[in-house]
Amino acid sequence: MVVNGLILLLAYLLGSIPSGLIVGKLFYKKDIREHGSGNLGGTNTFRTLGVKAGIAVTLGDILKGTLAASLPLIFNVDLHMLLVGIFAVIGHMYPVFAGFRGGKAVATSGGILLAYAPFLFLFMLIFFIGSLLLTKYVSLSSILTAIATFIYALFTGDIALIIVVFCLMAFVIYRHRANISRIKAKTEPKVNFFNKKKTK
């Protein structure tokens, strides 16, 4: 039980690694929480620091979810990968290393699925890109992708996967509640950071 608890704690700490804060301060001398939306995730990094930084942060957020979900395999403990992964997502949303002000759960949730169900991760990635091209809203695309991923999970028959993906969907929708209000008010910004140069 002690070992299992330590694994869950380690997963939370991995999730708490603030990729956006590290990349911003280390390479750009900026705290991205003081710019744009104030969020530590990949989207605000793209908008604030540019494409290279955004890609680096997004990959970092995905991989910390993948690593966390893989801890039961690495340490050969009797814990479900998805359960451990959930703790990484909680760490990403409420990171102890960044004043509990974190990201919106999308990339790290994807990282968990990459470890446990790679084809579902691929579906999630393709659906997100397609939604983004159609809607031009990162937030709306994230919400639609979370819902579509849950619907996909329903057809797998994997009860643990269904439950965890439902939780991840709920996290994503909850963390985007302000974006939902802005979409309704037609004040949510559309994607333009792929053509945007790094902010000086």
- Domain positions in the chain are 2-195
What is the model's pLDDT at position 114? 98
Query: CA nearest 37: which of 196, 167, 187?
Result: 187
User: Which whole-number Å values give the CA distances from 12 to 5, 23, 57, 99, 121, in the listed order?
Assistant: 11, 20, 18, 14, 21
Distance between CA atoms of residues 72 and 126, nearest Å: 28
Distance between CA atoms of residues 74 and 112, nearest Å: 15
What is the model's pLDDT at position 94? 96
Residues 165, 106 contacting (CB under 8 angstroms)? no
Distance between CA atoms of residues 132 and 148, nearest Å: 14
What is the model's pLDDT at position 198? 43
What is the model's pLDDT at position 35? 86
Query: CA nearest 129: which of 145, 117, 113?
Result: 145
What is the model's pLDDT at position 200? 41
Burial label, 50 (beta-carbon count in 10 A; 0-12, 13-18, 19+)? middle
Pull the structure tokens for residue 8.
């869950």
Pull the structure tokens for residue 130.
């397609």
Residues near 83 by Cβ (< 8 Å), separated by ≥ 6?
8, 160, 164
DSSP letter assigned to residue 41: S
What is the model's pLDDT at position 33? 86
Regions of the chain where pLDDT drops below 50: 194, 196-200
